[in-house]
Chains A and B, each alone.
Chain A
Amino acid sequence: MIPDYYEFCNSAKIVSGSHAIEHIGYELAALGASRPLVLTNKQLLELKVATVVLDALKDTEAEVVAIYDDVPVDSSVAVVNDVARVYREKGADAIVAVGGGSVLDTAKGATIVLTHGAEDLMDYRGAESLMGRRAIAFIAIPTTAGTGSEVTSAAVIKDTERHVKMGFTSLSLLPDVAILDPRMTRGLPLRLTASTAMDALTHAVESFSCVQANPLSDCYARAAIDLIREHLPKVMAEPRDEQARLALANAAMLAGAAFSNAMVGIVHAMGHATGGVAGVPHGDAMAILLPHGMAFNLEVAGDRYGELLLGLAGAEVYASTPREERPAAAIEAVRAMMRTLHEQAGLPLTLGEAGVLPEQVPDIARAALNDGAMSMNPRQPTLDELTELLKGAL
């Protein structure tokens, strides 16, 4: 796929491996930093996940000047400002963020405050409007394999007082280094593993069929899908298989880089809306809605889905499926994957199972239609079409 015009950037250095975190001292030094603030949450400390990073930092020239573990489930402006305050007070020169999407988003928000001296983060909302280089070193260590936040240029931060969600996209939000280490994800419960993997799969599939798909994002998306097909079943069978865990972490990172550049579409638009209206967790919504979104896009993105059959079902199936049957077979491959995850981990198959009520559908449809991700989808639905689509997923 070669669009008339495209841009692609994935500037984060990827450090991936079974003891990758032990290299954090070198990575900080290479960035010219020696006084990191470690950003994480209490649960990750209790589960001894974040402590792996703290232990690794003990054996370096760097001095941890603060451990900030008060990050809530949803990143908020108040927390972002507080992190920046502690960073300044302690004279830190780097942020090491250890956590899932909310920790990484909080870190990204703090880098904006610290770089631009933001009094009110609200003034810095927008897309690609932050100018200048980031002033501080930033290392991201994801503890889930799903969001791909460690390589995306976007952050969402809530202003709980003014009740608004602020969106930021800027290449200056990309971490300098992303460290993928199986010790960060090997203890994840199977249920969460399954739904976050489906989120990553959705990033790959949607980026591959969205309006900004390009040769580079395609490479990342294909590689992500291959890794998920091959290694998700291994992790579901043997959760402590470190190679397979590392492969899923890589898949999430690759899919993150793909969608950060090529965007996501209708599945995410419906997913954001389902989360907002009915509180369905993001990964669950992705798993349920992916085949429905693909079916809706089939008439315009069928050829692209046909190509993805190779990754989704493997070379044997791809080769033995006639070209014209490949798009539908790709959707069926996603459905088959979901049925397996439903049996293995209890992932919901329908919106109804996920707790969505029929009377919530109109609100979800309206919110989805106005969601930013919808504008990147290759086919634009009407409100009626969207309502029907959601009813089909109930």
Chain B
Amino acid sequence: MARRGWRTKRAKKALTAVVYGVLGRGLVASARLDDRVRDEVRSWPDGTVVTLRIAPFGPQVSWRAASGSLEYLGGAEVASDLLVTFKSVDDAIPLLLGMKPVLGSFAEHRATVRGDLAVAMSLVRCLHIVEGYLFPDIMTRRILPHPAKRRASHLTAYVFLIFRTASLEGAAS
């Protein structure tokens, strides 16, 4: 039984790593496509590295903010200015899959923050917007404070996310 529990946990962590990849690139894309995310990222001190991690050893995902855009740093070990740590993988999954609001996880003490709480709040707002692109309305309606007002279509964001071509930027704005 214990062995199975451990396997399930490993599977959940693998799933988290995949979601991190999608969310990671999704956030980079949103920072280009969506002026709300862009404005949030611009408010972060230049060079800020933000990380989402599952305690204690990961997986994790990081981004670096530089002159208003985001660089995806993947799961590499980095020196983070803002480190959001989920206390367990079970705390992260419902939130990363858009089944629970990110803010709720802070309220419920499911995540800890090391760094500037203002940047953490800003990151949460960004993640809500990204989830609005990544997940169908029926899911995000329950988690987002307001119905996601998209500045680009699901499809544009999706294509952008897959091909990561900057040329779509003009088409979307």
Contacts and interface: CB of A to CB of B under 8 A. Distances in A.
B92 to A, nearest CB: 14
Chain A: interface residue count, which band? 20 to 34
A268 to B, nearest CB: 14
A212 B108 contact: yes
A4 B108 CA distance: 9
B117 A126 contact: yes
B110 interface: yes
Given A380-B145, A380-B146, A375 B107 contact: yes
Given A129-B114, A211-B104, A380-B146, A7 B109 contact: yes
Chain B: interface residue count, which band? 20 to 34
Given A125-B114, A126-B113, A126-B114, A375 B106 contact: yes
Nearest to A261: B109
Nearest to B102: A375
A26 interface: no
A271 B124 CA distance: 22
B103 interface: yes
Interface SS majority for chain A: loop
A167 to B, nearest CB: 4
Nearest to A124: B114
B121 A376 contact: no
A112 B85 CA distance: 20
Nearest to B43: A370
Given A5-B110, A210-B107, A375-B103, 12 more contacts: A5-B108, A125-B114, A125-B116, A126-B112, A126-B117, A127-B106, A127-B112, A164-B116, A166-B116, A167-B117, A372-B118, A375-B107
Interface of B: 83, 85, 103-104, 106-110, 112-118, 120-122, 124, 145-146
Which 7 residue pairs across A and B have the least CB separation, nearest first? Answer: A380-B145, A129-B114, A126-B114, A128-B112, A127-B113, A375-B103, A167-B117
Interface of A: 3-7, 125-129, 164, 166-167, 210-212, 263, 370, 372, 375-376, 380, 382
